[in-house]
Amino acid sequence: MTATRGSAAAGEPEIRILPDPPAASRAAAAVIADALTAAVRERGVAHWSTTGGSTPVGIYRVLADEPFRDRVPWHGVHIWWGDDRFVPRDDPLSNVLACVEVLLGGAGRGGLSGTGASGFALDGATPGVPVPFEQVHAMPIAEAIGEGRPASWAAARYEAQLRVAGLPLDAAGYPILDVILVGVGSDGHLFSVFPGSATWDDPAWVQAVPAPTHIAPRVERVTLQPRILDASRLPLAVLHGANKAATVARVFGPREDLRELPAGLARRPGAIWILDEAAAADLPAAIRAGAIVGG
């Protein structure tokens, strides 16, 4: 398919519309790979925050395969999470599990991702990408659960880990990650920042979030402060499916209060939105005219 090159209106992010979820995953993987490669080239290290839900799985699959497995300087990459659920690491609801299984799986046996003593080395035929084990920064939720500590403990400890990593800070004092991948919920949440969230009023970098009652999974969470998305060099939102079309249309309609529509935070210049056709179906025509369609 020939891509139609749009030109994003001033103050708007770049929007790319792909035919289907696999094409959107390939496009997102290429954006992440380029951002990580550039960061390692320019600063010797790359900090990537990934997401949960179903969206990242296809992206991990592409990144774990050629050409990205060999092309990205994985030894310089740090992986963080924008949010996680307060469940054990082997629980299917864990946001870490898919990353470990699909992107990092088995790498411990190659000697590049540690010994596997902490559970990252899995039985699998294909080695994952060689991110050094100590650079995979899962939220310490398994530790909290194991030691009978609350989500607030995991949040404080994760903030301490982020501070020790020595990332540059923006003017407001938030860490600048190189790329933050987010999915968006049908209610307009990103990270675990739901409509009406109290996270905006707490400057802590990492916060415990009570289990949402309006959307599944209804489990307690730990999330980054939403302003960390804004501080990042590249916010990357990826959405698939018809059930996201109304949310996408809302985000790109008249600006709403971010407290009611947290996903609006990623509608800023320099951000990239990758949508499949189903998710883009109800985009306002003026915004669609500025999108890159088909590639």
Main-chain dihedrals φ then ψ at residue 90, nearest 5 degrees: -95, 5
CB of 289 vs ligand 6PG, minimal distance in Å: 26
The edge-to-edge listing of strands for the beta sheet with 83-85 is 83-85, 221-224, 206-209
Q: Whose structure tokens read 């916060």? A: 207
What is the C-alpha to C-alpha distance for residues 102 and 28, in angstroms, rounded to an integer?
Answer: 16
Selected binder of ligand 6PG within 191, 194, 205, 273 (CB under 6 A):
191
Q: For ligand 6PG, which is the closer residue by CB, 56 or 127?
A: 56
Selected binder of ligand 6PG within 140, 185, 226, 290 (CB under 6 A):
185
Q: For ligand 6PG, which is the closer residue by CB, 85 or 157?
A: 85
Q: Which of 236, 223, 271 is nearest to 14 (CA)?
A: 271
DSSP state of 14: E
Neighbours of 155 (CB within 10 A): 25
Structure-token pair, residue 237:
């939102």
Main-chain dihedrals φ then ψ at residue 216, nearest 5 degrees: -85, 155
Main-chain dihedrals φ then ψ at residue 193, nearest 5 degrees: -100, 100
Tell whether the torsion through CA atoms of 248, 287, 258 and 92 is positive or negative. Answer: positive
Q: For ligand 6PG, which is the closer residue by CB, 39 or 141?
A: 141
Give the nearest residue (CB) to ligand 6PG.
53
CB of 80 vs ligand 6PG, minimal distance in Å: 12
Selected binder of ligand 6PG within 27, 62, 138, 190 (CB under 6 A):
190
Cα 274 to its chain centre, rounded Å, is 13
What is the C-alpha to C-alpha distance for residues 123 and 204, in angstroms, rounded to an integer?
Answer: 38
Q: Which of 64, 54, 43 is nearest to 186 (CA)?
A: 54
What x/- string results for residues 36 through 65 when contact with ligand 6PG is judged by CB under 6 A?
---------------xxxxx----------
Q: For ligand 6PG, which is the closer residue by CB, 69 or 240?
A: 240
CB of 93 vs ligand 6PG, minimal distance in Å: 8
Cis check: omega of the bond before 168, within 30 degrees of 0: no
> Looking at 10-18, 58-66, 188-196, 271-279, which segment touches ligand 6PG (CB under 6 A)?
188-196
Number of residues that bind ligand 6PG (CB under 6 A): 15
Q: For ligand 6PG, which is the closer residue by CB, 191 or 290?
A: 191
Q: For ligand 6PG, which is the closer residue by CB, 55 or 232?
A: 55
> Looking at 31-39, 97-105, 177-185, 255-263, which segment touches ligand 6PG (CB under 6 A)?
177-185
The edge-to-edge listing of strands for the beta sheet with 46-50 is 77-81, 46-50, 179-182, 235-239, 272-276, 14-18, 292-293
CB of 91 vs ligand 6PG, minimal distance in Å: 12
Q: For ligand 6PG, which is the closer residue by CB, 51 or 225?
A: 51
CB of 95 vs ligand 6PG, minimal distance in Å: 5
Q: For ligand 6PG, which is the closer residue by CB, 52 or 140?
A: 52
Q: Are 61 and 25 in contact (CB under 8 A)?
A: yes
Residues 86-105 that bind ligand 6PG (CB under 6 A): 95
Residues that bind ligand 6PG (CB under 6 A): 51-55, 83, 85, 95, 183-185, 189-192
